[in-house]
């Protein structure tokens, strides 16, 4: 079976708008959850968000592109630009290579900011027209399409939407495309820009948003914190990457997915556990060969307790000792971008020999008997990591990544 290398990655997040800054924040334990800024109105009860700050869209993408780009597409395109540059690719200079490249970008909310702007004009300001670029800005495939146009990618290209499993599904599909020989490489990941009044109001209405901050697996956790951003990767056939002297950041070792076919919002132990086991089987890993789990870890009461049961079901006696952390405590719940942000964290962990902390932890929860790496990251010899995404709608996607070498 063809091995799949990660040769580039890019990130936009609340803890950094490039990989170097994101890496430093993880290593230093510097979280990015803050009160929202720059919004005309903030829903009552929303006190902190994982908001992207300091992102200069015009400097990163050029002034001429911006009228066609909703923020979710801006984040996705900027992250893709960084990943492709890191991989040392120039697909426009090689049209044949562009034809052998796939692009799959996941999103949960797509261009919700553009829709909110249009609705504000119509229903609040009494205008009779909306931005003429509303449709191409809000459509779910916008980020993917702009990445293909910017980089001359003419192979298979599409968007994936499966709530907060979107990025993991996109990455996993790219793994299978490269493995099968359908393409030589794939640009994959997820993006969302959801720190706006309408989306925050919708999440607040579910009564799952934290009153203070994100403290996954802690006994006194009060809910999730909405985040945003993008995480995008270049995946390549291992031999092809080696032949051109590309940097290999890590190996994509496996991918598993499942559907709960249960409740639209309440997670299932059985459904999520099947996705984890499918990922381990695909990677050829035994449970005792997993060195670190980047958990879904949303900090809601139901999700964290269920995820602890999933880990117990799959890992048995090791469940209490395998290191588990949720980097959502750093950058918030990126929703459609979550798996992309968290895979960047896994690659950094493998490269640095360092397990990121679960920030804001205060007290162990008997329902979550895990080693959650509380508050302070730790050095560790890591060879393999899992990254789990368990989405509303019962759609589960889990990635396994192995240290390069």
- Length of the chain equals 405
Radius of gyration (Cα) for the chain, nearest Å? 20
For 19-66, the pLDDT digits (tens) are 999 999 999 999 999 999 999 899 998 999 999 999 999 999 999 999
Mean confidence (pLDDT) of the chain? 97
Strand, helix or coil for residue 376: coil
The hierarchical CATH code for the domain 253-403 is: 3.40.47.10
For 276-295, the pLDDT digits (tens) are 999 999 999 999 999 999 99
Q: Distances in Å between the alpha carbon of 232 and those of 67, 103, 370?
A: 22, 10, 29
Average pLDDT of span 203-223: 96
pLDDT at residue 159 greater than cutoff 80: yes
pLDDT at residue 371 greater than cutoff 80: yes
- Equal CATH topology for 4-250 and 253-403: yes
pLDDT at residue 1 greater than cutoff 90: no
For 349-359, the pLDDT digits (tens) are 999 999 999 99
Domain boundaries of the chain, sorted by first residue: 4-250, 253-403
Tokens of 167: 């990025």
The hierarchical CATH code for the domain 4-250 is: 3.40.47.10
pLDDT at residue 264 greater than cutoff 90: yes
Catalytic site residues?
Answer: 164, 296, 333
Q: d(Cα 30, Cα 333) in Å, to the nearest integer?
A: 16
Q: d(Cα 216, Cα 371) in Å, to the nearest integer?
A: 12
Q: Tell me what pLDDT residue 405 has.
A: 75
The answer for 360, left when phi > 0, alpha when psi is -120 to 50, beta otherwise, is left
């Amino acid at each position: 079976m063809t091995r799949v290398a990660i040769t580039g990655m890019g990130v936009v997040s609340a803890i950094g708008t490039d990989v170097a800054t994101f890496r430093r924040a993880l290593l230093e334990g510097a979280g990015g959850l803050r009160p929202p800024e720059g919004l005309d109105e903030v829903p009552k009860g929303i006190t902190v968000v994982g908001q992207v700050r300091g992102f200069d869209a015009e400097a990163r993408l050029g002034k001429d592109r911006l009228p066609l780009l909703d923020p979710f597409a801006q984040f996705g395109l900027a992250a893709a630009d960084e990943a492709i540059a890191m991989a040392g690719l120039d697909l426009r200079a090689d049209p044949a290579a562009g034809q052998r490249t796939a692009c799959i970008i996941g999103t949960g909310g797509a261009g919700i900011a553009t829709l909110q702007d249009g609705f504000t004009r119509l229903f609040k300001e009494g205008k009779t027209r909306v931005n003429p670029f509303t449709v191409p800005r809000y459509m779910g495939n916008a980020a993917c399409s702009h990445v293909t146009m910017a980089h001359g990618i003419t192979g298979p290209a599409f968007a994936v939407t499966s709530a907060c499993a979107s990025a993991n599904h996109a990455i996993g599909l790219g793994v299978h495309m490269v493995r099968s020989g359908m393409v030589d490489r794939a640009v994959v990941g997820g993006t969302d820009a959801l720190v706006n009044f309408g989306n925050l109001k919708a999440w607040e209405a579910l009564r799952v948003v934290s009153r203070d901050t994100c403290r996954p697996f802690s006994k006194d956790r009060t809910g999730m914190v909405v985040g945003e951003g993008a995480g995008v990767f270049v995946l390549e056939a291992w031999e092809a990457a080696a032949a051109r002297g590309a940097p290999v950041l890590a190996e994509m070792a496996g991918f598993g997915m499942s559907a709960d076919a249960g409740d639209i919002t309440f997670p299932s132990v059985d459904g999520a556990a099947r996705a984890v086991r499918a990922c381990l089987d695909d990677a050829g890993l035994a449970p005792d060969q997993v060195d670190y789990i980047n958990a879904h870890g949303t900090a809601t009461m139901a999700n964290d307790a269920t995820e602890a049961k999933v880990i117990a079901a799959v890992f048995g006696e090791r469940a209490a000792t395998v290191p588990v952390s949720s980097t959502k405590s750093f950058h918030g719940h990126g929703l459609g971008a979550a798996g992309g942000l968290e895979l960047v964290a896994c690659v950094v962990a493998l490269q640095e020999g360092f397990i990121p902390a679960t920030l804001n932890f205060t007290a162990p929860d008997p329902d979550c008997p895990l080693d959650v790496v509380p508050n302070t990251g730790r050095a560790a010899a890591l060879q393999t990591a899992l990254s789990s995404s368990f989405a509303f709608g019962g759609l589960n996607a889990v990635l396994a990544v192995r240290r390069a070498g």
